[in-house]
A and B are shown apart, each in its own frame.
Chain A
């Protein structure tokens, strides 16, 4: 199983993305980070820390659970429902520039669900998408604004992101496929 990003690489990538955010959005006071549960949430909190260290400004940070917005929820005739976790966005997103954070961008369906969920919370002035890994194979017209690493994959492979907060280590691993 090839390790495509190690802890050091992930750390430097997030710092680079934090700088790119500041480059694109001069003012920080209308920014807010929203991470897609669960690993996007951890990444959003790390980016908030980087942005604080660089600017001294605290960017409000929330966590979004998209389960209830999934497009496959009522499609399968019989089967257990995926687990729902709590969404925590403790600030108004109206008029804010939302930086939506996820670990892996693949088909784009999670992002579609996240956009629908966010719109139910208010009317942000803009939404930008940040992903640690873009592995291709989009099924919807969705594109990330900030990409940690572009990783060409085959659809038989899977990309696993492990993070300290949930998995005890920082690593991105490419699994499976015709190796």
Chain B
């Protein structure tokens, strides 16, 4: 596991640029690159608090938001981030694209590429779709969620929110509870949090715990009280019924009674614990309403921070890759 990285804003950063032209997953990032993105996001957050919430940094850049899966939060968040940086944006949703006429992902991408966009933000139901685009496109590719693989900007905004509240990531106990098997948010969060020195616990029904998950340096359990005990951060994951073929647990009501986050269960966590959820929430399934709306919930802060984190990623990738990063 890597050394914990401290985060004083005025220290010179360990790195000043990202090594890759794309953001495909957290797995490709070093702790120093993660810190650079989070530090840059702090500056970007201030832009969103100004009377004129717009800076000219990405003037003349074109960003395509290519979404093959429904998304409101992530797509809106990217679009606001792009507009705050003065980029020209266009949104392509699957229902209105030539995909319904049978075009392949690669052909769609190559046709878009011919119009010379600078960046493509891609969400797709297939794991690895972004890697395919990265190989065939000159544009910078930003993964906005690919299948059950990664959702890097979600993990980055989660880390940003934790860091803002707890002033650090290293040494925190983070319990991630819910549908572990189908969650790309989980995979990105495990990569990020273990890399930054957090103590990560994952919890869910045995049928929804991926085999071999301990290989990633996390503790797995199906006993929720064990995961929650003395946790600093509790992150709940949505039960993704749309990705389930077959039945993984008897009923939603039973799921809630065994794994739902209630105030009684929360009492075992540290008194200053925070509750997180990447959304969309199923109230009464993975989370009780009084917890979702309670004082320890930072769920809406996560949404707000998402814009700042995505601005940071767009800005850092807009200069292209830097093999020998010069200041």
**CB within 8 Å of B: which residues of A?**
38, 65, 67-69, 73-74, 76-88, 116-117, 120-122
Does any Cβ of A come within 8 Å of B326's Cβ?
yes
With A85-B9, A85-B43, A86-B9 already in contact, the answer to whether A78 and B16 are too (CB < 8 A) is: no
Q: CB distance B322 to A69 under 8 Å?
A: no
The B91-111 residues at the A interface (CB cut-off 8 A) are none
Interface string of B16-47 (1 = CB under 8 A from A): 11100000000000000000000010111011
Q: How far is the CA of A61 from the CA of B57 in the complex (A)?
A: 25
A84 lies within 8 A of B54 (CB):
no
B57 to chain A, nearest CB (A): 4
Q: Kindly state whether residue B320 has any CB partner on chain A within 8 Å.
A: yes
A121:B17 contact, CB within 8 angstroms: no
- Interface: B211 (CB within 8 A): no
> Which of B58-66, B67-75, B148-156, B227-235 contacts the other chain?
B58-66
Residues on B facing A (Cβ under 8 Å): 9-10, 13, 16-18, 40, 42-44, 46-47, 50-52, 54-61, 85, 312, 315-316, 318-322, 325-327
**Bound complex: CA A78 to CA B43 (Å):** 23
Q: Which residues of A contact B52 (CB under 8 A)?
A: 120-121
CB pairs A–B below 8 angstroms (28 shown)? A67-B57, A69-B55, A73-B56, A74-B57, A74-B58, A74-B59, A74-B60, A78-B319, A78-B321, A80-B18, A80-B319, A80-B322, A80-B325, A81-B17, A81-B318, A83-B16, A84-B40, A84-B44, A84-B315, A85-B43, A86-B42, A86-B46, A87-B46, A88-B46, A117-B55, A120-B51, A120-B55, A122-B51
CA distance A3 to B287 in the complex (A): 65
> Which of B9, B51, B61, B326 has the most chain A CB within a 10 Å cutoff?
B51
Q: Inside 8 A of A69's CB, which chain B residues have their CB?
A: 55-57
The distance in angstroms between the C-alpha atoms of A82 and B16, with both chains bound, is 7
| B39 nearest CB across to chain A (Å) | 8
B44: which A residues are within 8 A, CB to CB?
84
Taken together as a complex, chains A and B put the C-alpha atoms of A79 and B322 apart, in Å, by: 6
- B56, A68: Cβ atoms closer than 8 Å: yes
A68 lies within 8 A of B55 (CB): yes
B57 engages A79 (CB within 8 Å): no
**Nearest CB of chain B from residue A144's CB, rounded to whole Å:** 24
